[in-house]
Amino acid sequence: MVFIKAAFTGLVLVSLVGCKSSHIVEPVSSEQRVSQDAPDWVVSPPHDSRYLYGIGSSEVFGDKVRAIQQADDVARSDLIKQLKVSVSQSLTASTKTENDSAYRKTEIIVSSKVPETEMVGIERLDTYVDQQRQIAYVLTRLDRPKAIRSLKSELGQTELDLAVYERFVIGSDLLHDIRSLMPALPLIRKYELNLEKLELLSANDKAKLVGIYKPTKLKKDIYGLISQLRVRLEPKNTEAERLETMMTRQLTKLDMDVINTSDSELVISYSLDIIEKEQQKTHFILMNADVNVVDSSGHIITAGVLSAKGGAYDKDVAYKRALAKISDKLETEVVKGILDAI
């Protein structure tokens, strides 16, 4: 489904390295043979209290430049893995609010709008290509103090950006309050990602984390407001009425209050067209839903068309599969559209 306001792709949890190849090999151990001209770090990385080192390798396969880049990606990944091993629990887990069901999908959608950046301070220190084994090696280095300073600077700026939302006074107009506070969610996500990195870098010195601002209350307040939204469903034809129960159940899981009265903040109206086909004794059910979401003033928040298909030897099974898919898409895309528009 492509909504008028926006389309979202993918979920972004935290990705700190580039793509890897199936031809990537592990760094050699001291027991393996290496060329005599191989630098010591190929077998044993340097040790330094200021820096953290990572080693990556990749088979050349005739393209040395590409192999070095792939080895660089692996070396950066190796650095991050070393950091994560020393951390037993994510700091940002403590910023999670209590009403999980209300913000689970919202969190995913917000995350997709915040691009992840690589850990600052990682540099390629050296490269080596073993001509005999046709393997490229890369040594990377992370300047821990420099990275910590950079992250604290970014966190400080984002904290200043969030200050205006922290001072916002919640009133009696629910939709207005949500619209006013919604821009804070991507900032909070950006802050949490940088806070995650700072924790990784400060695993052995928790004193660096003392006094760090956490947007816990602001985040909880915003998701709490979203969970108060009252939604009215308006199926436009008989086929659409079959979706009403599923839609109500799924929106209720998100703690949205589905009501039948006219005082809702949002109205979701939708029609459903069903096409049945049979091919080689298999039944196919194609469903097309035309959806509009409007606010209490009648302004269209988002609109679009989505489709789903179910197939099975049994016609009823095919129908139920298509119905479940279209219902899930409706719930997901409607929530995306609402959040982006608001």
Task: For Cα atoms 232, 233, 238, give the angle at the middle one, nearest 5 degrees.
Answer: 155
Evaluate if residue 18 carries a pLDDT over 50: no
What are the start and end residues of each CATH 3.30.160.150 domain in the chain?
230-341
pLDDT for the residue 231: 87
Per-residue confidence (pLDDT) for residue 85, from 0 to 100 = 62
CA–CA distance, 69 with 125 (Å, rounded to integer): 13
Side-chain half-sphere of 324: how many Cα atoms within 13 Å?
A: 8
* pTM (whole model) above 0.75: no
Region 296-321: mean pLDDT is 89
Contact between 281 and 254 under an 8 Å Cβ cutoff? The reply is no
Q: Each residue of 174-202: pLDDT tens digit?
A: 888 988 998 998 899 899 988 888 888 88
CB 270 within 8 A of CB 324: no
Evaluate whether 202 touches 208 at the Cβ level (below 8 Å).
Answer: yes
Tell me the mean pLDDT in the region 210-233.
87
pLDDT score at 95:
39
Given a cut of 50, whether residue 88 has pLDDT beyond it is no
**Which one is predicted more confidently, 253 or 317?**
317
pLDDT, residue 251, reads: 77
Residues 222-228 have a mean pLDDT of 85
Range with the poorest average pLDDT among 89-103, 156-170, 314-328: 89-103
How do residues 42-72 score in pLDDT, each as one tens digit? 888 888 888 889 999 999 988 899 999 999 9
pLDDT given at position 55: 92
Confidence (pLDDT) at 309: 94
3-class secondary structure for the chain?
CCCCCCCCCCCCCCCCCCCCCCCCCCCCCCCCCCCCCCCHHHCCCCCCCCEEEEEEEEECCCCHHHHHHHHHHHHHHHHHHHHHHCCCCCHHHHHCCCCHHHHHHHHHHHHHCCCCCCCCCEEEEEEEEECCCCEEEEEEEEEHHHHHHHHHHHHHHHHHHHHHHHCCCCCCCHHHHHHHHCCHHHHHHHHHHHHHHHHHHCCCCHHHHCCCCCCHHHHHHHHHHHHCCEEEEEECCHHHHCCHHHHHHHHHHCCCEECCCCCCCEEEEEEEEEEEEEECCEEEEEEEEEEEEEECCCCEEEEEEEEEEEEECCHHHHHHHHHHHHHHHHHHHHHHHHHHHC
Show the tokens assigned to 206: 């928790």
Mention the CATH class of domain 230-341: alpha beta
Contact 286, 309 (CB under 8 A): yes
Poorest-confidence range of 69-83, 104-118, 218-232?
104-118
| Residues 338, 274: Cα–Cα separation, whole Å | 26
- Which position has the higher pLDDT, 67 or 110? 67
